[in-house]
A = this chain, B = another copy of it.
Amino acid sequence: MQIWRVNVRNQTLTREPVPAGWEKLGGRGLLARIMLDEVPPTCEPLGPLNKLIFAPGLLVGHMLSSTDRISIGGKSPLTGGIKEANAGGRTGLHMATMGIKALILEGLPADPGLWVLHLSLEGGRWEKAEGLAGLGVYEASKRLVERYGEKTAIALIGPGGEAKLASAGIQNLDKDKVPSRIAARGGLGAVMASKGLKAIVFDNAGGQKPPIHNPEAFKKAQKEFTAALMNHPQTALYRDYGTQAMPQMTQGFGALPTRNFSAGTFEQVESISGEFMRDLLLARGGESETSHACMAGCTIRCSNVFGGEDGKTIVSPLEYETVGLMGSNLGIGDLDTIGRMNWQVNDLGLDSIEIGAALGVAAEAGLMDFGDGARALELLDEIRQNTPLGRILGMGATTVGKVYAIERVPAVKGQAMSAYEPRAIKGTGVTYATTPQGADHTCGLTIRAKVNHLDPQGQAAISLTAQLNMAGYDTLGACIFAGFGYATAPAAIPELLAARYGWEDVPADMLQVLGRETIKMEREWNKQAGFTKAHDRLPEYMTREALPPNNAVFDVDEEQLDTIYDNL
């Protein structure tokens, strides 16, 4: 494996051996290490000192079920802190087969203009992004696939990224060449634009699977893991409903974000639920699919293709986070409308969580009525037209709140919350408050813990467990749902790592060891960037305003928040 280092000013690629301190890391953990080693924490996110880094997880490259994820990172223009966003699709797998442990993009372009960076075993090639600049992600992907071939992996940005919006992500083609896998959070699409890149093409021709030190042992561990995953009850649930199993569950907890996080239940929850959606898609047929894989080899197939009445795809996939933030959070109970909004933000290359939250704050500011899907689509068109209002919205919920002097902004460290109300799921509230990434359920969702989620006691411990696990999975390259398997067969992780790399004495709790190391590094980087415990807080109004129907406030004491990482 090598480090591929790209200087966008000179348009050069250098391939370097992996430094000793980086070898035993991958994905999110490796990003944190590189950030600490190379990126000054106080730098400007869109300036010359920030870097954009791609790193597959430690176990990527072997089509282990749901374990081929790509981590993308840098300093976030949204939060001002360290950022890792990961995605499925095939970018991770291709990088691994090309022997790239990390791709580091540095500097700023000498001249304006957008480029496509083509990477292959022969090196890097820069080509003007002619006919691509300003194009939506769907059309741009199609042209890129035509130009560079069906076998490439492609990561690209949309018009929102080109406009350097802080809600812009980086899209990755899935195994069907659809740009459906977005490293969404934290504005990394804007960082990619600042580096002058519309797309990066990974052409793995001539590449091969990463070497395995002990193939027999690897196969054995893989079997254990796969069996555990296949037999886990959640796997079947996710195959039927995907993430859309959640609306009814969060509604049950009074934790479904509704009308800018002002209530925890939504009167139209039925019509946005996974059960309703599955029946709808089965009835509609055509291009609709209720169970679809984003990565080759995935046995869960949690994804879907959301087709309309005419059987044609409206959007692929439609996930719970989008339904929560663009549906109930906006008072919109119609999946077709939500699907159309989702397509728009995808095509713009934006994070649907951040934009859903931004629209919720905009509704609070009087820019739309809750429930008015047509107006919501108009507001998304403001983003596409790059109007002043569109730019405000595209900068995310915190900027909308700032510009319209709205206090009720469901965000931490400048990043919008996911579709779990922290007053009703308090452990997840602790995660939102304390994770170095800004509010994000993928950093440690606690909804499955068997506790009273309304009780403020002990939530930090529950959050910490989830945070360590998730930081570990993000370092391995494992999907959150692969965790169902790894958690049931925990020995598989050290066995897989030992077999893959020939490492000796891999500890039984390697997942947590990696998670701990990762969060420590991220915290250190953020500290140098100027973050303190004052930033590890939920918005003040959530500690004061009771959330129906449980009339819950966020009352986890600050002591828990301040000491959560004390024994890392």
Contacts and interface: CB of A to CB of B under 8 A. Distances in A.
Interface string A8-52: 000000000000000000000000000000000111101111000
A465 interface: no
Contact of A44 (B47, B164, B387, B540): B540
Contacts of A534: 41-42, 528-530
Contact of A42 (B44, B391, B392, B537): B537
What are the nearest 6 A-B pairs in CB distance?
A: A530-B534, A164-B405, A388-B389, A388-B388, A530-B532, A44-B540
Contacts of A533: 530
Interface in A540-560: 540-541, 544
Contacts of A537: 42
A404 interface: yes
Contacts of A532: 530-532
A364 to B, nearest CB: 13
A369 to B, nearest CB: 18
Contacts of A544: 48
Given A388-B387, A528-B534, A534-B41, A540 B47 contact: yes
Which size bracket describes the interface of A in this complex? 35 or more
A535 B527 CA distance: 12
11 contacts: A42-B537, A44-B539, A46-B407, A47-B407, A49-B540, A163-B405, A190-B405, A391-B392, A395-B403, A529-B534, A530-B535
Given A405-B190, A530-B535, A540 B42 contact: yes
Contacts of A223: none
A399 interface: yes
A77 B404 CA distance: 12
A391 B404 contact: yes
Contacts of A43: 540
Given A388-B389, A389-B388, A402-B399, A407 B44 contact: yes
Nearest to A48: B544
Interface string A398-430: 010011110100000000000000000000000
Interface string A373-396: 000000000000001110110010
Nearest to A190: B405
A128 to B, nearest CB: 22
Interface string A164-183: 11100000000000000000
A534 B535 CA distance: 14
A327 to B, nearest CB: 25
Contacts of A404: 391
Contacts of A164: 405
Contacts of A402: 166, 395, 399
Given A47-B541, A388-B388, A532-B532, 16 more contacts: A41-B534, A42-B534, A44-B539, A44-B541, A47-B540, A49-B540, A164-B405, A387-B388, A391-B392, A392-B403, A395-B402, A395-B403, A528-B534, A530-B533, A530-B535, A531-B532
Contacts of A530: 530-535
A403 B403 contact: yes
Interface in A43-80: 43-44, 46-49, 77
A161 B387 CA distance: 24
Contacts of A531: 530, 532
Contacts of A388: 387-389, 392, 403
Nearest to A540: B44
A165 B405 CA distance: 7
A46 B540 contact: no
Given A388-B387, A388-B389, A532-B532, A46 B405 contact: yes
Interface in A320-375: none
A541 B402 CA distance: 24
Contacts of A391: 392, 403-404
A45 to B, nearest CB: 9
A211 to B, nearest CB: 42
Of listed A163, A403, A405, residue having the most chain B CB within 10 A = A405
A261 to B, nearest CB: 15
A276 to B, nearest CB: 36
A559 to B, nearest CB: 15
Contacts of A539: 44
A46 B537 CA distance: 17
A36 B562 CA distance: 21
A387 B540 CA distance: 28
A402 B78 CA distance: 10
Contacts of A399: 399, 402-403
Nearest to A529: B534
A255 to B, nearest CB: 23
Which among A46, A49, A395, A533 has the highest number of chain B CB atoms within 10 Å?
A395
